């Protein structure tokens, strides 16, 4: 499930809000070099103590760079902070 209160499965969410992949649409982005230490002093970052997490302030620029508004981003590590 995506969330307990909304009672919608991942498959239903993707079917409802996703757009099928179209290989005829060109996609090109320049590589992005970012400072992933940004946000390591943020309270949200400090809330959990595991050592492999990435600060959300370091992830946001990558998402904004490689997506367009309306894209669905799969966070396959379920909030473990290892998306990058």
Q: Does residue 78 lie within any of the structural domains?
A: yes
Q: Does residue 40 lie within any of the structural domains?
A: yes
Which residue in the block uniquely carries the two structure tokens 């499965």? 9
The DSSP output letter for 80 is S
Residue 40: its pLDDT value, please? 77
Residue 1: its pLDDT value, please? 43
Residue 6 — pLDDT band, cuts 50, 70, 90?
Answer: low
Q: Does residue 42 lie within any of the structural domains?
A: yes
Q: Does residue 11 lie within any of the structural domains?
A: no
Q: What is the pLDDT of residues 23-76, one digit of tens each?
A: 998 888 888 888 777 777 777 777 777 766 677 777 888 889 988 888 888 776
Q: Does residue 74 lie within any of the structural domains?
A: yes
Domains contained in the chain, number: 1
CA separation for the pair 3, 1 (Å, rounded): 5
Number of C-alpha atoms within 13 angstroms, CB side, residue 35? Answer: 4
Q: Does residue 26 lie within any of the structural domains?
A: no
Q: Does residue 71 lie within any of the structural domains?
A: yes
> In this model, does residue 84 exceed pLDDT 90?
no
Residue 24: its pLDDT value, please? 93
CA separation for the pair 50, 77 (Å, rounded): 14
**CB atoms inside a 10 Å sphere around CB 55:** 19
Residue 5: its pLDDT value, please? 57
Residue 52: its pLDDT value, please? 67
Q: Does residue 81 lie within any of the structural domains?
A: yes
CA separation for the pair 74, 59 (Å, rounded): 13
Query: Residue 49: which domain range?
Result: 32-84
């Amino acid at each position: 499930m995506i969330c307990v209160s909304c009672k919608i499965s991942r498959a239903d969410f993707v079917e409802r809000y996703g757009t099928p992949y179209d290989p005829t649409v060109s996609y090109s982005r320049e590589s992005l070099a970012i400072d992933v230490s940004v946000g390591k002093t943020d309270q949200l970052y400090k809330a959990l103590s595991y050592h492999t997490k990435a600060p959300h302030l370091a992830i946001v620029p990558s998402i904004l760079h490689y997506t367009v508004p309306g894209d669905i981003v799969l966070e396959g590590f379920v909030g473990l902070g290892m998306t990058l």
